[in-house]
Each structure stands twice: as C-alpha cells, then as structure tokens.
Structure 1
C-alpha cells in the first residue's frame, strides 16, 4: 500500500463528507467516514490510514484508537492538506 496515496484519498473523502467548523477547518465524524460505502471500497484499513495521517499532522482527533460504534461521534479534523 502507498500510504501517501491513501492519505490523499482520505483528504478527498473528508472534504466530500465533512463540513467547515467554527474555525473554518473541515471536519467529519468517524462514523460518517466508516459507514460511507465509497470509503468502505477505497480503504482496506480506514483506521490505519487515519492513524498515519494523524502521525503526519494532516488530521487530528482526540482518541488514540478509533473503534466503529464506540467512537462514531469522534470528530476527524482536516488540519492541513
């Protein structure tokens, strides 16, 4: 897997599904990303891609590990693209 390509695709999907917050940064809830059919087909490991993007400071979220159901309301914020 090409991590940089996966992150580029993730940025596109966050833009597509998210909306600007009060600070102008685009944000989307984890559950929206996880349950989206297009994302399900694009990403083999969405959580892994999110973690890699967080490590590169492209996105931010509060939890260490994201689990479907438990963390559906956690906001993923697009920090930089």
Structure 2
C-alpha cells in the first residue's frame, strides 16, 4: 500500500477520531469539513487534504454533498465515512 491508499486509510482514522459519536441517520461517522480542515493533527498529516477527500469520495469511502470544498465557504458540509 502506498501513496493515496495510505492517505485514505489515515483519513478514515482521522474522521473516526474527529466524529466521536456523531453519525448520520445510518450510523456512519460524520464530521464537518471545517472541523477537519482546522484540526492541527490533520493539517500535519495531509499535504493536500482536499485532494485526499476527493480521491476518497471517488472510491466511495466517504461522501459529501458538494462538488468543491473550500475552507470557510463549505465548513458546514458533512463528511460521511461510508467504509470503516
């Protein structure tokens, strides 16, 4: 495993950590984009967080209801972890 696969695995762990007990209606861990983007640990781990999120969405590991994620404008978008 390397590159993006490794980053997606790290992302899954960080979403679980940040979500705590917050879930969507189906029990999937959920965290706001603004929480992830402002988290010190995530900013140290991910060089290109938005790129990692896009790759994870393409692989159906996560989902979110936005074409684009911009800090500030999309802080309240829910990032839902589909695959643990």
Instruction: Place the TM-score, normalised by the shorter chain, in its bin.
Output: over 0.9
Query: What residue is the counterpart of 1:24 in the other structure?
Result: 27
Correspondences of 1:2-81 after superposition (within 5 Å):
2-18=3-19, 19-81=22-84
Deviation at 1:20, TM superposition (A): 1.9
State the Cα deviation string for residues 4-59 of structure 1 (Å, max 9, x = none): 00000000000000122331110000000000000000000000000000000000
Give the number of the structure whose residues are more often strand, by fraction. 1
- Which segments of 5 or more consecutive residues in structure 2 lack a partner in the other structure? none
- Which segments of 5 or more consecutive residues in structure 1 lack a partner in the other structure? none
Question: How does the TM-score come out when normalised to structure 1?
Answer: 0.96
* Structure 1 residue ranges (4+ consecutive) displaced by more than 4 angstroms after TM superposition: none
RMSD: 1.0
